């Protein structure tokens, strides 16, 4: 089975937050940049709730996030999509992918990654070549615990290269990453969901924080396996706090609602967002768009002071 993307007239971009809380300044900056990259290039622009983590995602946060983005003037094409509505699509995609059951616990994986010659942070393929008898034994053990195994991609590559508008060609490692998580309640893994959803919406440009750059080769490799052309990427620098750490809600009045409650206007917030990406004097998203040049996007993090 091949996941066929919807044929876009001129491509599409997207912003896809996890609805686990209100968006802070760093999230808003990435959303604005994604919108600017898409609109400047004549692309459609979609909003997607990546609510696949049902333990952390809340519908009220999805609603608040969309309200905040629209309050800044961002516009979207079509309806907002939700990953929790797309489980059937993930199951169909899984059917066409080489995969195998994994019975390892987090402790098993941590210990294996510390073995000689292991690549830190990568799954070493412990369960890939088990015999059927060994698999039956491990399945039985999990059943006694009321659990089901995870499903991992049987990757045939260990590296893959993507094209990034800020970083150029980037080659990263690929391993047998998880497609569906195991446990008492199995759920779909982010790497599979995001690739299937991007293909469905015809996304050919992904703009997001550069903390996700290392995941792009895995996702692009998976797209290729599904018969989908991988998108181009633009991994933009994050917003950091005064200590040089990634901005978080604990850093004070950093969400849009907190800033507005503190007396700022949306125009002032937009002006600050513009200054953070090198556009001075703008107070609307249209003014930001008029002054936007992808080649001039800062390559260094913005420090929130």
What is the predicted pLDDT for the residue at 197? 97
What is the predicted pLDDT for the residue at 199? 97
- Which CATH number is 12-92+189-303 given? 3.40.50.620
Binding residues for Zn(2+), as ranges, are 102, 104, 123, 127
User: How do the pLDDT tens digits run along the chain, 305 residues long?
Assistant: 344 434 445 799 999 999 999 999 999 999 999 999 999 999 999 999 999 987 788 999 999 999 999 999 999 999 999 999 999 999 999 999 999 999 998 787 777 666 555 566 678 889 999 999 999 999 999 999 999 999 999 999 999 999 999 999 999 999 999 999 998 888 999 999 999 999 999 999 999 999 999 999 999 999 999 999 999 999 999 999 988 998 887 877 789 999 999 999 999 999 999 999 999 999 999 999 999 999 999 999 999 87
What is the predicted pLDDT for the residue at 117? 54
What is the predicted pLDDT for the residue at 10? 77
Query: Do the domains spanning 12-92+189-303 and 97-160+168-187 agree at the CATH topology level?
Result: no
How much is the pTM?
Answer: 0.91
What is the predicted pLDDT for the residue at 4? 43
What is the predicted pLDDT for the residue at 144? 94
Q: Rounded CA gap, 101 and 130, in Å?
A: 10
What is the predicted pLDDT for the residue at 84? 94
Binding residues, as ranges, are 14-18, 50, 102, 104, 123, 127, 190, 208, 249
Q: Rounded CA gap, 300 and 297, in Å?
A: 9
What is the predicted pLDDT for the residue at 123? 87
Question: Which one of 3.90.1150.10, 3.40.50.1820, 3.40.50.10420, 3.90.800.10 gives the CATH number of domain 97-160+168-187?
Answer: 3.90.800.10
Binding residues for L-glutamate, as ranges, are 14-18, 50, 190, 208
Binding residues for ATP, as ranges, are 249
Could you state, in order of their start, the residue ranges of all structural domains in the chain? 12-92+189-303, 97-160+168-187
């Amino acid at each position: 089975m091949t996941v066929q993307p919807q044929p876009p007239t001129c491509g599409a971009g997207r912003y896809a937050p996890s609805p686990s809380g209100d968006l802070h300044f760093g999230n808003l900056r990435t959303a604005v940049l994604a919108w600017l990259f898409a609109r400047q290039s004549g692309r459609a622009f979609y909003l997607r709730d990546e609510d696949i983590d049902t333990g952390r995602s809340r519908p009220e946060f999805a609603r608040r996030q969309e309200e905040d983005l629209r309050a800044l003037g961002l516009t979207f094409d079509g309806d907002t999509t939700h990953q929790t509505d797309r489980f059937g699509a993930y199951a169909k995609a899984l059917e066409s992918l080489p995969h195998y059951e994994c019975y390892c616990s987090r402790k098993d994986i941590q210990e294996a990654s510390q073995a000689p010659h292991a690549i830190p942070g990568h799954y070493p393929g412990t369960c890939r070549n088990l015999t059927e008898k060994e698999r039956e034994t491990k399945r039985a053990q999990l059943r006694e615990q009321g659990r089901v195994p995870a499903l991992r991609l049987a990757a045939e590559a260990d590296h893959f290269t993507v094209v990034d508008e800020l970083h150029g060609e980037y080659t990263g490692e690929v391993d047998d990453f998880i497609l569906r998580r195991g446990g008492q309640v199995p759920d779909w893994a982010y790497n599979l969901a995001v690739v299937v959803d991007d293909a469905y919406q015809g996304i050919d440009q992904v703009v997001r924080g550069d903390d996700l750059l290392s995941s792009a080769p895995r996702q692009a490799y998976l797209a290729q396996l599904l018969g989908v052309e991988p998108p181009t990427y633009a991994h933009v620098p994050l917003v950091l706090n005064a200590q040089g750490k990634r901005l978080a809600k604990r850093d004070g009045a950093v969400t849009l609602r907190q800033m507005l409650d503190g007396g700022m206007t949306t125009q002032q917030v937009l002006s600050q967002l513009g200054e953070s990406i090198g556009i001075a004097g703008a107070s609307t998203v249209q003014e930001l768009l008029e002054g936007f040049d992808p080649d001039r996007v800062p390559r260094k993090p913005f420090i929130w002071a």
